[in-house]
Amino acid sequence: MLVPLLVAGLFSGAVPQVGETAPDFTAKDSAGNVYTLSEMVKKGPVILAFFPKAFTGGCTRELKAYRDRYADVEKAQGQVLAISMDDAETLTRFKADLKAPFPFIPDPEGKVVGAYDVKMPLLSVPKRYTFVVGEDRKILKVESGNDAIDPNGAIVSCPLRKPAGADAKTPDSGTK
């Protein structure tokens, strides 16, 4: 009886999908800086890169690719948060080793990982998932597995925004 439940658990879940509202969260990065998703999206799209384990092959390739394409992320006024269930000390070393210019969020208790339902069953590691979150926390893109190693899909999904103050003035259409 337990086996069918475990198998069902592998294939069901509530991973947020394109068009849905991303779960909000506040978390500290490995340096102690605080990030709140609902505040971050006001400045531009946010790429949430969940990865299984620091210093492993796929995760190293994925996060090096984000590092190497970070100028493209910035051109789209995007931001990257790399999230795993590793502890802060491990992520501090991993970020330094990669020379990554973006924050790494340790989530050892799996609070953010759980909110996005990307935790591997029976293991304390997240599945590899990438979410691009736009204005009002709307999910613009979801990638998983090997597709999430290449940041290109996430980067091109970041909507271009006008710089602050660049909005064209619209004529007043009447009295208030």
Residues known to be catalytic: 59
Terminal Cα distance for the chain, rounded: 66
Q: Which tokens in the block code for residue 46?
A: 């946010």
Q: In which order are the strands placed within the sheet that holds 129-133?
A: 104-106, 79-84, 46-50, 129-133, 139-144
Other beta carbons within 10 angstroms of residue 113's beta carbon come to 23
Residues 6 or more apart in contact with residue 30 via CB below 8 angstroms? 88, 89, 91, 92, 95, 103, 104, 105, 106
User: Helix, strand or coil for residue 61?
Assistant: helix
Backbone angles phi, psi at 74, to 5 degrees: -65, -35
What is residue 28's DSSP assignment? E
Q: What is the DSSP string of 83-130?
A: EESS-HHHHHHHHHHHT-SS-EEE-TT-HHHHHTT-BPTTSSSB--EE
